[in-house]
Amino acid sequence: MTTLRSRAPALAIIIAAAMAAPLAALDLEAGAFFGNLGLPWAGESPILDDPYPATQWLYGGRAAFVDDLGGGFSLRAEYVTDTVLRNVVRGLVTYDTGIASISAGPMVGVFNTAETLLKAGIDIGFRIEAAGMAFFSATVESSMGAGLATAGDYSQERSELVAGWYVHNAICTVSMLTRRYTRMVAGGDSIVDASTDYVFSVDVYKKGAPYRVVTDLGYSWMTRTYPGDLVDGLGAVKLGATVSAEVMPTLTVVVGLDSGIYVFGIEELAGRGPAPASFMFSASLGFVLHLGEGDAAAGHEALRQAD
């Protein structure tokens, strides 16, 4: 997995942009995660361990700023460590009419391989909503280029569909997220990391309360395809919770934990999944700092969109 030093330039870009942004309605976000619920980044040959080791650690962070530009426009710039896509920087402008919104902007893979320091792409999304009733959104993200040409070149792809509805003091959503990271290695071969996540979420809130709780139940399918079409994979039934609390008017703290309640091997790892006693998890901690005229509700919404 890449080191923290390799991520420092991307974080510096986000911090510098945030300092240059107007403070009229600005939210700053930061967070980190740590766990073992996924396939490790390193490795160009199949995993031979039996059972699958629970010490394949994944870790990373996120830094972002969100600025209300006025007239229905907003700007979000962020750096994200993704467990499949690796390091990504995005800059998205959203136009929201209240019933529908559309977002677009560049995405850049940063410092993921020594041979390809930057990999440009585009992110496009839209959302439609019947106020107080239901909503639907779709997002597509992909690297640009004619294809992979040399060792170290790579491509990143992400797509997400979300449908939700409102009930008393809660928002229910179902979503599907697919991600794919393809990297060329020596000899012209490729290694492909891919995942598909199906999630049902309930966002529980109470008007005026300084906290919010989101619970998730989902299934994840994660694979790595090696040259020769050998595939390592894990399937995971996951249960998670995220709690956000307004500790003061300008600060919201967010704590999350996803736990693999049943994790098993698939493809070449079939029968060699993690030991039953292994604790497979991903824990996160973050905050939103409200520097402008926005309030904690805006911070909760920013975090929901980021997740």
Determine the Cα angle at 213 with ends 62 and 102, to 5°. 55
pLDDT at residue 304 greater than cutoff 50: no
Looking at residue 302, what is its pLDDT? 47
pLDDT at residue 1 greater than cutoff 70: no
How many whole angstroms separate alpha carbon 203 and alpha carbon 243?
10
E strand spans, 111-210: 118-130, 134-143, 154-167, 170-184, 190-205
Looking at residue 293, what is its pLDDT? 59
Q: What is the pLDDT of residues 194-250, one digit of tens each?
A: 999 999 999 998 888 999 999 999 999 999 999 999 999 999 999 999 999 999 999
Looking at residue 73, what is its pLDDT? 97
User: The pTM is what?
Assistant: 0.87
How many whole angstroms separate alpha carbon 157 and alpha carbon 146?
14
With beta carbons less than 8 A apart as the criterion, state whether 281 and 20 touch. Answer: no
The mean per-residue pLDDT over the stretch 166-190 comes to 95
The mean per-residue pLDDT over the stretch 7-34 comes to 67
Residues 6+ apart with CB under 8 A from 297: none
Q: What is the pLDDT of residues 57-96, one digit of tens each?
A: 999 999 999 999 999 999 999 999 999 999 999 999 999 9
Task: Using pLDDT thresholds of 50, 70 and 90, give the confidence band for residue 42.
Answer: confident
Q: What is the pLDDT of residues 134-158, one digit of tens each?
A: 999 999 999 998 789 899 999 999 9
pLDDT at residue 182 greater than cutoff 70: yes
Residues 6+ apart with CB under 8 A from 20: none
Nearest CA among 260, 207, 258 for reference residue 237: 260
Start-end of H helices in the chain? 4-20, 296-306
The mean per-residue pLDDT over the stretch 269-284 comes to 97
Q: What is the pLDDT of residues 93-132, one digit of tens each?
A: 999 999 999 999 999 999 999 999 999 999 999 999 999 9
Q: Any idea which fold 4-306 has? A: Porin (2.40.160)
Looking at residue 286, what is its pLDDT? 98
Give the DSSP H/E element, type plus range, for residue 216. strand 211-225
pLDDT at residue 17 greater than cutoff 90: no
Share of the chain above pLDDT 70, in %: 87
Q: Where are the domains of the chain?
A: 4-306
Least confident window among 17-26, 139-148, 278-287: 17-26
Nearest CA among 107, 80, 111 for reference residue 92: 107
According to DSSP, residue 188 is labeled: G
How many whole angstroms separate alpha carbon 107 and alpha carbon 303?
19
